[in-house]
Amino acid sequence: MPKLLCKIIIALLLIINISSCSVVGEYWYERIDEYIAEQFLEYASFSESQEILITKSAKDFKNWNLASQLPKYKEFILQFKLLDATTDISHIEELYQNGILLSNESRDFFIPYFIELCESLTNDQIKEIEMHLSYLTEEKKNSLKKEKKNYKEDLEQSFMRLFRLLGVKLNTKQKNIVHHYTDDMTDSRLELIKKREIWDQKLVEIINSKNNMLLEQDLIRHINSIGSEDENTRVAINQITAELIASLDQKQRRRFRNRLDRFTRTIDGILDSDE
């Protein structure tokens, strides 16, 4: 479920980020429930009634997200737009925590549907889910093995891609900021994959227990047990982000704010189309 929620949240962000105009954003958002349902349906061969529940959960999420969350996403972007040359890590940490809250709200929305689905799963379906989770884990491990860039290079490329998405091409001085902080960062990617693998195995164990009296509370407790990335890594990433934003020159900052304005116009277009 957490991997699925990550995909859903990423899809929502992509809808906002890739849209060059509100019309494009409206087109993609109109189909977000289909995307969500397709992601759920990958996990097993579900019955007709289970597919109806999955489709309903996706549509309900879309309606809830439109009414409740998109205005929050817009406010989040506007807060990001206010960042200037005085930006420090405390500003980025505050935005990070706000982002976590938005993510958790989406996660929590799906929990009742997920519990209802789990209560109806057959032994064969649980095995399918277990196999699919294992497949996803192996994909991540194989992808990491094939990665030609080391962790430091991967992080640096990630920052450059992120800021390009925000309309900013980092200059040499800004690349050196990233380079400075990534020097001492520990590669924890494989460790995180292994932790998620253990989490997945425990999830299957809970679902397979068939203890419906405790299923709901066990699932909620387990879902809420998911941690974020390593704290030291998060602090370093937030520090880099703060220094990069503070270092933007006039031209970069204008492009940065114009890109964020484009994102908010896309959200406005989606909201207006629903009226």
Rounded-to-integer distance, Cα 240 and Cα 88, Å: 10
Closest CA to 89 of 231, 263, 261, 253: 231
Rounded-to-integer distance, Cα 187 and Cα 227, Å: 17
* Three-class DSSP labels, 213-274: HHHHHHHHHHHHCCCCCCHHHHHHHHHHHHHHHHCCCHHHHHHHHHHHHHHHHHHHHHHHHC
Whole-model pTM? Answer: 0.83
Rounded-to-integer distance, Cα 1 and Cα 112, Å: 12
Q: If 0-12 CB within 10 Å is exposed, 13-18 middle and 19+ buried, where does residue 32 land?
A: buried
Q: What is the mean pLDDT of each run of 10 residues along the chain (275 residues)?
A: 45 43 55 83 94 94 90 90 95 88 86 92 95 94 86 87 90 93 84 91 89 83 77 86 96 94 86 73
| DSSP-derived secondary structure letter, 83 | -
